[in-house]
Amino acid sequence: MNKFKERFDKRYDELKWLYCELYNDDMGALDWLCHSIYEYYEERPDYLKRLDEEREKKPNWYKGNDLLGMMMYVNCFAEDLKGVKERLDYIKELGVNCLHMMPLLESPKGRDDGGYAVSDFRKVQPELGTMEDLKSLALECHKQGISCCLDFVMNHTSEEHVWAKAARAGDYEARKRYFFYDNWDIPNEYEKTVPQVFPTTAPGNFTWLDDCKQVVMTTFYPYQWDLNYANCVVFNDMVCNMLFLANQGIDIIRLDAVPYIWKELYASCRNHPKVHTIVRMMRLICEIVCPGVLLLGEVVMSPDKVVPYFGTVQKPECHMLYNVTTMASTWHTIATKDVSLLRRQLDQVSALPKDYVFLNYLRCHDDIGWGLDYDWLANFGIDEAAHKQFLNDYLTGAGYNSSSRGELYNNDPVLKDARLCGTTASLSGLEAAQFEGNREKEKIAIDCILMLHAYLFSQSGIPMLYSGDEIGQVNDYTYKEDMHKFADSRYLHRGRFPWQRRESEAAKQIFYGLRNLSRLRAKYDVFNAKASLSTFDTGNIHVLGIKREYHGHTMIAYYNFSSEEQWVNRQEDAYKEGYRELITGKDSKAVGDNMCAYGVWWMFTSE
Ligand code: GLC
């Protein structure tokens, strides 16, 4: 009780203040919540309580250069949870010690949005195993020094969730957990200001339920019913679901689609100030019950919308956020071969407080949306619509002599605003090269994949690999034959892990190249999230220059984003004695001035 009480007493005033403000001083509901969170504390396994205490003493535990993440679909990688447990050695060999398993809770077949339509927050999908399996996998991961991350799909439930079923059947209390309307009057008002998430695959933000003659809010797919967080019962119950998952041994809770959780008429229903009140309350509750657990916010928005989710130094919200704009800018750079925008983007991120930890990535399970800094690009005469068209043409291989093989996603017929899908390898030209049997092109593609990962590792924050990228997994076109998936091109990059491909020469080169990079990253603390980062002019628009400094150590890195050899203006001091190229181990002078296509240099000095 002591630990709980100590943490609770410190935070109760703020929690009460926020809760009462949001829920009209409903003290009965707050008491229920406080009582419930204590029960979750009581139920929390001892080993996790010990871990909480260790992490409380080392609050920066997740900011080091030794943390490397990987996200994966359990079924694609190893059939089920037991399979993952047996294959931990594989990810460990790569230096991965943080495992994000894609949604694995119960969701109806064919109407699951890849697991993002949860029908039971306390049950694992039967094909993947049981809650006991998840618990035992998490325990094994902890024994082996691996943290686990799981999605908490909090914006909506599946239409098959018990609350949804009751609501459909007419239960008044259950209906209050969602947004139900007798007719289209209010929904039509909402539609005036609320943009669409899936304009092609799921247009509109509401769905007509013919059986009960009601309209229900469905921001995402029609079978994903938005929860109403203005109802304190929803907040209380969902907090309990979150703590339940934390108690299974989940270290990082990914707050799925968090900007959407507060809805208000005549607003965009994104990033409402009350979303921040809710996230702050969740942070306080985790700090009381399970302070070793981190919140990772999924905010796929422009940087000015993302950063507020860190909260303030005194009142923090999320521990980590995705660096989505840098990811999109990276693929823009692959297409344009001009590093200017990326430089600007990296400089902006590095100017933010070092306490902000970003999760960096090249690809994930979702599409790439072209949320770039168009105001800045306009200075160079770049028009947003035309540029998106260029990026999509280039990355789908539709022109410009491009070897990329992506597919469009949600090609909005009105806004003409398509997004893009595809694996790192296919977008980098490996699929085309192998299809053509062109060895020269294949080598260039492999170098591109490795260069991109080296660049990923030298950004500020934690890198998150996408399972399959480490062996150059290409697009999977079989989704087109599946009636539940064919309309959603995100399945293009959600294919089964090709274990047999691992033996190919190309896969080995990528895997061992990446392993080398990850070992170097873990070894040198110049890669630490606390290191200072700046970009510099390499004298060549195709080559990105990044300088990292930490405790007297400096790394000057060069990344050639073009498919041709490039000359660079070496930083003066790189020629001095003491510098060494980390990846090849060559001495500075031996490196020269010419970089091969998609080349990388990590010039390091320990002086
Ligand atoms: C998040 C997920 C995405 C899903 C959506 C709805 O954005 O990343 O895959 O479709 O939430 O749950």
**Range(s) of the chain covered by CATH 3.20.20.80:** 1-110+117-154+236-322, 328-530
Match 């919140």 to its residue by tokens.
295
| Superfamily in which the 328-530 domain is placed by CATH | Glycosidases (3.20.20.80)
**Range(s) of the chain covered by CATH 2.60.40.1180:** 532-606
> 239 pLDDT exceeds 70?
yes
Tens of pLDDT, residue by residue over 381-440, are 999 999 999 999 999 999 999 999 999 999 887 777 899 999 999 999 999 999 999 999
pLDDT value for 413: 75
CA dihedral 484, 489, 491, 493 (to 10 degrees): 170
Determine the atom of ligand 1 nearest the C-alpha atom of 220. 6
Specify the fold of 1-110+117-154+236-322.
Answer: TIM Barrel (3.20.20)
Is the CB of residue 140 below 6 angstroms from any atom belonging to ligand 1? no
Better-predicted residue by pLDDT, 267 or 413: 267
Query: 553 pairs with which residues across the strands?
Result: 550
Report the CATH architecture of 532-606.
Sandwich (2.60)
> 193 pLDDT exceeds 70?
yes
Distance, in Å, from the CA atom of 236 to the CA atom of 424, rounded to the nearest integer, reads 40
Mutate which of 157, 218, 223, 256 for ligand 1? The one with the most ligand atoms within 8 Å of its CB, which is 256
> Three-class SS of residue 8?
helix
Q: Which amino acid is at 498?
A: P
Are 398 and 390 contacting, i.e. CB atoms less than 8 angstroms apart? no
Which listed residue (112, 113, 133, 256) is catalytic?
256
Residue nearest to atom 11 of ligand 1 (CA): 257
Catalytic residue flag (residue 525): no
Helix (H) or strand (E) holding 588: helix 588-591
**Range(s) of the chain covered by CATH 3.90.400.10:** 156-226
Report the CATH architecture of 156-226.
Alpha-Beta Complex (3.90)
**DSSP E strand boundaries for 520-569:** 532-536, 543-550, 553-560, 566-567
Is the CB of residue 226 below 6 angstroms from any atom belonging to ligand 1? no
Distance 285 CA to ligand 1 centre (A): 24
Q: Which amino acid is at 486?
A: F
pLDDT value for 32: 98
Catalytic residue flag (residue 298): yes
Per-residue confidence band for 603, with pLDDT thresholds at 50, 70 and 90: very high
Determine the atom of ligand 1 nearest the C-alpha atom of 113. 10
Tens of pLDDT, residue by residue over 135-179, are 999 999 999 999 999 999 999 999 999 999 999 999 999 999 999
Distance, in Å, from the CA atom of 449 to the CA atom of 568, rounded to the nearest integer, reads 21
Distance 417 CA to ligand 1 centre (A): 18
> 575 pLDDT exceeds 80?
no
Are 77 and 83 contacting, i.e. CB atoms less than 8 angstroms apart? yes
pTM of the model: 0.96
Distance spanning both ends of the chain, measured CA to CA: 50
Per-residue confidence band for 308, with pLDDT thresholds at 50, 70 and 90: very high
Is the CB of residue 201 below 6 angstroms from any atom belonging to ligand 1? no
Distance 112 CA to ligand 1 centre (A): 11
